[in-house]
A and B are shown apart, each in its own frame.
Chain A
Amino acid sequence: MLGKLMKYEWRGLRLPLLIMLGILGGTTLLTCAIIFTINPKMDNVSAGFSTMSLVLCILLYYFGIIGCSVGTMLIIAIRFYKTTYTDQGYLTHTLPVTSTTLLAAKTITAVLCYLAMLAGIFATIMIILGAIYIHVSNLSGYDKVYIDRMVGEVLSEMSMSFREDYGISLGGFITFYTVFMIIACISSIMIILGCVSLGQLYTKHRIIGAIIAYFAIVSVQQVISYIAMLPTYSKMLRAEALSETIPMFEVISPTMIISLLWAVVVSVIMHIINLHMMTKRLNLE
């Protein structure tokens, strides 16, 4: 049943997500195309023109990224609200599945969609970087193999010094950070869904209720993140006072771990709220 539920969740979400991704892909291609037009041999007028269009295009792409990530969140929230708490809820809640399965299907699909969208955004960034790299190496007139070797050397040097400065290998850091980002994504989806549920408590206007709940939780999150920064600041201050050098990762890791814990705790709380609102407090109009 979980699989079937997820299938229909995906069907309900995919169209707007694919449209957004398509638009982002279009802006990416446009940006790449403009990057390829840049040429140092151009005269001033056309160089200025092409720089301006590049700036505009990158701006457009930037808004595309923001739009895609915020838009995905919104679409997930709207679908959750519509299928769970409006008239469609009459069908959703009379399907022969437990509320836990129902919620699991909605949460997992939402998280996967959001992660897929972020992966898509990441892919477009890589495409643009790749385009820049190819274009620059073509313009420079150097041998392709030579450039590749140079870049490889720079990267390995960076990775070496990264280890010295941060106290963790670059690969390790990227892995850690990826896990951190994924958990942060899950928790932000959980917060969105939980806020839609919390909005139900304000029966006069359930959508406004959800928005209020969201801002309340985001404020709490801000406070928590300030608190999470405290160990970092204190370590930095101590290191400065003793004029020691301590690896960067050691400094920031408590903050990241506190944020991570907060993300996990808030996700669990939101899950419990969702389940409670979908069973004990369900009150469809």
Chain B
Amino acid sequence: MNEQYMNAAPLLQINDLCKRYPGMGSYMSVFHMNLTIPRGRIIGLLGPNGCGKTTLIKMINGLLAPTSGTVYINGMFPGAQSKRVISYLPERTYLDNGMKVRQMVDYFGDFYEDFSKEKAYSMLESLGISPEARLKTLSKGTKEKVQLILVMSRNAELYILDEPIAGVDPAARDYILRTIITNYNPNSTIILSTHLISDIENVLDDVIFMKNGSLMLYTSVDAIRDQQNKSVDAYFREVYAC
């Protein structure tokens, strides 16, 4: 592929990562996590609510300082350089309500070198969202779609999508999955965090199971199906059975 990737460090490397929130006593939201993620994969980050998925994602994005341990993106700590190559979709709606959709597109175009306005406008059109609409007039679901479009219109190296399909209708969900698939390229990796596994498991290469802040399992979807003779969803239910 590209020259610069030939000898490069892994896309994402996490070493002995821990996070304890202030005021939470000795409870660790992420506990001694080790993980190395290569390029060119679509990975599901799975686990029940409160297992530390979002905390982990925030630390990768530099939104939260680890208590101990390290996160490396292309061999570097989270910072301006890593934010240039990570495209992140948080659970929250972060759009400025006073702005128009078009202004948001301009904003992304101004700050991210890898952002394609053409791509954004064509996706907006196919979902029937007017660029002239003011964000405060849009429903929560539509805002989430706008946000996803902005994030997927970047040509990033690492996409981190936190619960992208949780709140959307089935048609939009199919569109999102199709977008993820058509956006796929061998240089970039997509990490999808979700608890709705059956909806997305056909799209995934690998799955990461988290439990109580720790890594339980990191394997390929086909390996689970080969060895367990059951779907990832069924296996997940078994692993996390209460």
Contacts and interface: CB of A to CB of B under 8 A. Distances in A.
B21 A91 contact: no
B144 to A, nearest CB: 12
Q: Of A94, A95, A281, which is in contact with the most chain B CB atoms at under 10 Å from its CB?
A: A94
Contact of A87 (B62, B88, B92): B92
Given A4-B110, A8-B107, A203-B23, A98 B80 contact: yes
Contact of A280 (B23, B61, B65, B111): B65
B83 A96 contact: yes
Interface residues of B, number: 27
A266 to B, nearest CB: 25
Contacts of A53: none
Nearest to A91: B94
B94 A282 contact: no
B124 to A, nearest CB: 18
Contacts of A284: 58, 63, 92
Given A4-B111, A12-B96, A87-B93, A94 B23 contact: no
B163 to A, nearest CB: 13
Given A281-B65, A282-B63, A97 B58 contact: no
Contact of B80 (A4, A83, A90, A96): A96
Given A4-B110, A8-B107, A279-B65, A90 B96 contact: no
Interface residues of A, number: 25
A94 B88 contact: yes
A64 interface: no
Contact of A282 (B65, B80, B81, B96): B65
A163 interface: no
Contact of B111 (A12, A89, A96): A96
B80 A94 contact: no
Nearest to B81: A96
Nearest to A281: B65
Contacts of B64: 282-283
Contacts of B79: 98
B86 interface: yes
Contacts of B96: 12, 83, 88
Contact of A95 (B22, B23, B83, B98): B83
Interface in B48-76: 58, 61-65
B90 interface: yes
Nearest to A97: B80
Contacts of A88: 94-96
Contacts of A206: none
Contacts of B95: 88, 91
Contacts of B21: 283
A193 B83 CA distance: 25
Interface in A90-107: 90-91, 93-98, 101
Interface string B100-124: 0000000100111000000000000
A98 B78 CA distance: 10
Nearest to A5: B111
A93 B63 contact: yes
A88 B98 CA distance: 12
Interface in A64-100: 83, 87-91, 93-98
Contacts of B81: 96
Nearest to A7: B110
B84 A90 contact: no
B90 A90 contact: yes
A54 B88 CA distance: 58
Contacts of B88: 90, 94
B61 to A, nearest CB: 6
A82 to B, nearest CB: 9
Interface centre among A4, A93, A280, A281 (most CB of B within 10 A): A93
A216 to B, nearest CB: 20
Contacts of B62: 93-94
20 contacts: A4-B111, A8-B110, A87-B92, A88-B94, A88-B96, A90-B63, A91-B94, A94-B62, A94-B88, A95-B83, A95-B111, A96-B81, A96-B111, A98-B79, A203-B22, A279-B65, A282-B63, A282-B64, A284-B58, A284-B92
Interface of A: 1, 4, 8, 12, 83, 87-91, 93-98, 101, 203, 279-285
Given A96-B111, A98-B79, A283-B21, 16 more contacts: A1-B111, A4-B111, A8-B107, A12-B98, A83-B96, A88-B94, A89-B63, A91-B94, A91-B95, A95-B83, A96-B112, A97-B111, A203-B22, A280-B65, A282-B65, A285-B92
Q: Give me the 8 closest cross-chain CB pairs, A-B, nearest first.
A: A96-B84, A90-B94, A91-B94, A87-B92, A90-B90, A96-B83, A98-B80, A280-B65
